[in-house]
Structure formats: structure tokens, C-alpha cells
Structure 1
Amino acid sequence: MKQYLMLTNEELKRSWKIIVSVVLALASIEILTVVGRVIYQERQVRNYMSDAKVTESEALRSFGKLSFEQASSYFSYVIMIGIVLVILYAIQIWYRDWFGESKYIYRLLLLPGGRTKIFFAKWTSLALVIISFIGLQWTVIQLSYAIFNWLIKDNYRESSSLVLSDTLKQLYTMNGMDLLVFIILALFIVSFLFLLVLLERSYRKAKGLLFIVLEVAALFTIMMGGLYIIETLNIFLRHETAGIMVTIFVLYFAYTIWKSLRLLKWKISV
């Protein structure tokens, strides 16, 4: 346990500068898009008033009032960038150990005790990054909403309530179960990426690529095939169908971790 905690701390220390820089950059972009959207709206109204010689209320009727949902419309794109960066980090967290100047992977593999702690130290660091990203993103939304209300004039604002776009609503429902499901799905993707990386590192070249293709095909076949069979048979109730799919998902989740641990123990060598 002590080694596992030390390795987790080491993983976070090696990446915290990049992680903090990326998070601050994404948060800044989101806040600036809100500020820019408010300024652009007010400038459009003023220019229209000047050109068309109309009153402010008439200009607002033409352009419409601005809501926070409209001002934060670019947030979903920024979040997608964040998700892509997390996926890249899940791959980079392994490959940097092989391709770094010090070949850090050799030190890890030669540590006393089992190699399970290496896997779970990296897995835990990704879990902490994902949870932190979700929490910080919600903080940015709240901060952006406060800035939006502070900048915009009351008569330019459509609503004083916090309304999010459909994409953001799916991510930030403030429902504990929905949030838990989202985190579990994110950790499954991380585990699956870990498995693909370890397959490539275990077999290398064409054989490793073949195993990766087979693993991806197996995942697609299991999920889509299972869903197709259930819908074709049409003998299960909705909650029974959901239960079967969740069971398949949990079993495959466990398989990805088990397979990764076996590869790390028996196939990865120094």
C-alpha cells in the first residue's frame, strides 16, 4: 500500500504542471468566450441603433436578448478538447516511461513486490484527474455565470436563472447517480486504453497491432451484438434489459483490468 501511494503521488507530481496549465487554459478560454459574447451582443445592438436610428428596445427585439445558455454555447467544445486531452494523457502516462531519456519503466518493473501497484497508481492518477476536471469545470460554469450577470445589462439579459445547453445538462445534471455513471464510463475508457497500450508493449509491431484490432472488435461485437440480440428477442422488460447490459459492461470492465494486470505481470519485460 505504501508503494502504491508513493507511485500515485509520483505520477501526479510528474504531470501536475501540465495538468494545471491545461486546466487553467481551458477555463480561461471558457470565461473569455462568455465575456466576448456579452461584448459582441452589446456592440451589435449599439451599431444597429446607430445605423437604423431605432431605440434600444426596438434593437433588442430585432436581435433578441442574450441568455447564459447562448453565451456558454462554446463550453461543450472546450469540454470535448478536455476529454481528448485526458485520452491522450491516458496513453502518454505509459509511453513516457518507455521513451523518456531515463527509461523510467525499468525502475518501475524492477521494484520489489508485484506490478499491480504500477497499474493502479497510473489508474488512480487518471481517476483523480477526471474527477478534478469535472469539479473544476462546474466551478468554471458557476464563475462564468456570475461574470455574465455582472457584465450584461439587465434589459439585455433574457433570463436571470442558470440554464445550460443540452450537452452541458447531460454532463452536469447535479444528480449523484448520473455523475457516478459518467465517472465509471470515463474510467472504463481509461482501463481500455491501458489494455491497448499494454498489448502493444507486450507484443510490439504487427502482432501487437493485430491484438489491438481484435480487442476493439471484441468490444464492439459484445456491446452491439448483445444489444441487438436482446432487442431481437424482445422478451425482456426495460429494466431487465438495462440490468443485462450493465452486467455485460461490468464483466468487460473487470476483464480489461484483469487482462492488463496479466500482461504487465507476464508479458512486459525489462
Structure 2
Amino acid sequence: MKNYLKLLNFEVNRFFKLYLTLIGLIIVSQFIGAIVVSKGYMNRTDQVMYTNQLSMSQYLEQYGIFSFQHFIESEWFLIPIFFSIAMLMIYVFFIWYRDWFGKNTFIYRLLMLPTERIAIYFAKLTTIMLLVLGLVTMQILLIPIEIQIVNSIIPTDFQSNFSFYHIYSFEIWGWLYPNTFTEFILYYGVGLIFVAVVFTAILIERSYGLKGIFIAIVYGLLSFGVFIAPILLNAFSSGYFYSLEVFLMVLVMSIIVLGSAIWIANHLLKYKIRV
């Protein structure tokens, strides 16, 4: 456990500077966006009211009120989130290939550490999940501040009564932060399995060279097939199974896929990858 924690700390520190850059990008973009979107709305409102000689009630009747959703759906809010997701997706591959192709082939130093090699796998897997959860947590903390920014610019009469809890009505937020523990385990459990399968596929490619690419692709497709098998079975049987039965089948398949990914990775690290 001690060696695992040291490896985890090491992996987090390797990405920390870029991680802070991503956090800074999200904060700056969304804060500026909240101001730009709010001021833009008020400028358009003033212009329309002045040009058409409308009272506030007449304007609201014709054009409606401002919703915080206008900001949530703007490029100021979405682009930094999707960019950060893309960077983390790239890092899922980079976290391994950097060790092989970086300076001094660092992977060999890692593999020679006096600890179980699978600890390296778990440390990298945990790092990815911590980075993802860290960004999601930060976004939760930013929302109330952004609501205050919007409220300070747009008068109450021109906007809907929006609170922090209304964010769960937005589809994108339901994916980022599920509002039930079961959904949280489901969504992020799927993400964990995906990363684990990708990690194992990378180790397969590293273990068998060119033919390893083909084996890794086949392995990835088989894992995906096993995972969605209960869903396809239920679809082809015209909803024969109860929702709970489908959920339990998916849960069992998920455990099988995750367990096999870890077992294969452990086998490859022990017996196929040499230093």
C-alpha cells in the first residue's frame, strides 16, 4: 500500500502543472463568459426596448426572460469542459506511452521498483479517476459563483429564479454529476472500466509488438461486446427482462470485464514485459 501511494503521488505530480492549467482555463473562460453573456443580454435588451419603445413588461412578454441555461449552453461554458475532457482522454494513452518513449525509457525504472508491478497499473488508473473527479468537483464549486456573477449583472425582473439545484435539469450536468449514488456509480464505473480496458490494451500492444495492435483491438472489441451483451439481449427480446434484471446482468458483465482487464494486465506486467 505504501509503495502504491508513492506511485500515485508521483503520477499525480507528473500531470499537476498541466492540470492546474486546465483548471485555470475553465475558471477564466467561465467567469469571463458569465460576464460576456450577461452583459450581451442586457445590451440587446436595452437596444430592443429603446428601438421599439417597449416597457419592461412588454419586452418580457414578447422576448421572454433570461435563463442561466443560456450561459450553460454557451461556448464559454462548454468549450473548456470538452477541451479538458479531450486532454484527459489523450492522457489515458500518454500516461503509459510517455514512460516508454520519453527520455531514458522511464518504464524500465518503474518496473524495477521493489513492489508488485500491478501497483503501477493501479496508480495510473487511480490517477486518471482522481483527475476526472477533481475537475467535476471544481465545476460544482464554480456554479454558485457564476450564478452570483449573472445575478449581479442582470436584474431580477429580467431573469428566471435559478438556484444551484436547477442544474440537475440540464442533460450535460446529469452526465457530469449524477444526482443519485446509483447513477454516480454507474456512470463513473463505466468510465473506470473503459480506462482499465484501454490500459490493458496498451500493455498488450507493448507486449506483442505489431501483432499486439491487432490483439489489442480484438480485446477491446470483445470487452465492449461482453459489456453491452445484456443490453442487446434485452433489446432483441423486446424488453423481456425487468429493469433490475438488466441492471444486475450489466453489473456482472462489468465486473467480468474489469476483473479480466486487471488479470490480463497483471499477467503481462509479470511475464511478458521484460526489463
Q: What TM-score comes out, normalization by structure 1 length?
A: 0.90
Say whether 1:250 aligns with 2:255.
yes
Pick from 97, 102, 105 the counterpart of residue 104 of structure 2. 102
Deviation at 1:224, TM superposition (A): 3.7
Contact 2:230 2:246 in 1 (8 A): no
In the TM superposition, what whole-angstrom CA distance separates every residue of 1:142-178 from its partner, at most 9, and x where no partner exists? 2212222222211111224332222213433432332
Contact 1:131 / 1:183 at 8 angstroms: preserved in 2? no
Is 2:118–2:265's contact at 8 Å kept on the other side of the alignment? no
1:50 deviation in Å?
2.7
Post-superposition offset of 1:39: 0.9
CA distance in 2, matches of 1:259, 1:145: 47
Please tell me whether residue 136 in structure 1 is matched to residue 138 in structure 2: yes
Question: Does 1 or 2 have the higher relative contact order (CA < 8 Å, sep 6+)?
Answer: 1
Q: Which residue is 1:209 aligned to? A: 213
1:14 alignment partner in structure 2:
14
Aligned equivalent of 1:60:
60
- Counterpart code for 1:119: Y
Whether contact under 8 Å (2:49, 2:59) holds in the other structure is yes
Cα displacement (A) at 1:77? 4.8
Q: Specify the alignment match of 2:115 in structure 1.
A: 113
The alignment yields a C-alpha RMSD, in angstroms, of: 2.0
Superposed CA deviations along residues 207-232 of structure 1, whole A, max 9, x for unmatched, are 12211220122123323444333443
Distance 1:179 1:228, change over 3 A: closer
What is the TM-score of this pair, normalised by structure 2? 0.89
What is the aligned partner in structure 2 of residue 46 from structure 1? 46
Cα drift, residue 33 of structure 1: 2.1
Q: Is the 8 A contact 2:3 2:115 kept in 1?
A: no
Q: By how many angstroms is 1:139 displaced?
A: 0.8
Please say which of residues 103-112 and 80-89 is displaced more in the overlay.
Answer: 80-89
Task: Write the mapping of 1:82-101 to structure 2, written as runs, cut at 5 A.
Answer: 82-101=84-103
Residue in structure 2 matching 1:219, options 223, 245, 261: 223
Q: Distance in 1 between matches of 2:104 and 2:259?
A: 33
The answer as to whether partners of 1:195 and 1:259 remain within 8 angstroms in 2 is yes
Counterpart CA distance in 2 for 1:40 and 1:140 is 21
Q: Which amino acid aligns with 1:120?
A: F
| Shift in alpha-carbon separation, 1:27–1:181, aligned structure 2, 3 A | farther
Question: For the residues of structure 1 that align with 2:172 and 2:7, how far apart are their CA atoms?
Answer: 36
Out of 147, 150, 158, the residue aligned to residue 149 of structure 2 is: 147
Long gaps (5+) in structure 1: none
Cα distance in 2 for partners of 1:223, 1:189 equals: 10
Q: Tell me, which stretches of 5 or more residues in structure 2 are unaligned?
A: none
Which of 163, 166, 174 is the matching residue for 2:179? 174
Where does residue 246 of structure 2 map in the other structure?
Answer: 241
Q: Which range moved further: 185-194 or 51-60?
A: 51-60
Identity across aligned pairs (percent)? 26
Q: 1:170 and 1:128, CA in 2 relative to 1: closer, same or farther beyond 3 A?
A: closer
1:37 is matched with: 37
What letter is aligned with 1:55?
Answer: S
Contact 1:30 1:72 in 2 (8 A): no
The structure-2 alpha-carbon separation of the partners of 1:223 and 1:186, relative to structure 1 and needing over 3 Å to count, comes to closer
Alpha-carbon shift at residue 76 of structure 1 (Å): 4.7
Per the alignment, do residues 14 and 224 of structure 1 end up closer, same or farther by CA in structure 2, a change over 3 Å counting? closer
Q: 1:45·1:56 contact (CA, 8 Å) conserved in 2?
A: no
- 1:235 deviation in Å? 4.7
CA contact (8 A) 2:175 2:187 kept: no
Structure 2 CA distance, aligned partners of 1:197 and 1:85? 18
Partners of 2:126 and 2:162 in 1: how far apart? 39
